[in-house]
Amino acid sequence: MKVYVLNGPNLGRLGTRQVDVYGVTSYADLVELCRDTGRELGLDVEVRQTDAEHEMLGWLHAAADEQAAVVLNPGAWSHYSYAVRDACAMLRGPLVEVHISNIHAREQFRHHSVVSAVATGVICGLGVDGYRLALTHVAWSAAASG
């Protein structure tokens, strides 16, 4: 099963950006974690990161066309990008929204995600382990559905 792990703005700075909030795991380590977890679960995982909204939209459109599953950390786009939300609504495979930090325990503007309403599920506040849990859910869902 094809799964895209898509990361939005500033996530390429993991390990150096606000380590008190996001931890010390580097982006390269996150990519390795996702790929290793995917292999263990029998998933074909492709991990991508962009700071360009139009690029993210293109990836979401491609995932919709492929009927692929998506694990998405939209970063700041979670809170205001209706374009990302609308692209997510086109997905035909599962969509798990992931946030490394607990967005509900942070600044007020982070408490709402426009993406959550179209996601299969949301994981937040569990650090990079949220990605492992999201991939596990996708694999479990695929096995349960046949």
Residues with catalytic roles: 22, 99
Q: Contact 123/130 with Cβ under 8 angstroms?
A: yes
- Residue 100 in marked binding region: yes
Instruction: Copy the structure tokens of residue 91.
Output: 């997905």
User: Percent helix, strand and coil across the chain, each rounded to 5?
Assistant: 50, 20, 30
- Residue 79 in marked binding region: yes
Q: Count of residues for the chain?
A: 146
Q: Contact 123/97 with Cβ under 8 angstroms?
A: yes
Residues 6+ apart with CB under 8 A from 104: 110, 111, 124, 125
- Residue 48 in marked binding region: no
- Residue 86 in marked binding region: yes
Q: Contact 61/21 with Cβ under 8 angstroms?
A: no
Known binding site for substrate: residues?
73, 79, 86, 100-101, 110
Known binding site: residues?
73, 79, 86, 100-101, 110
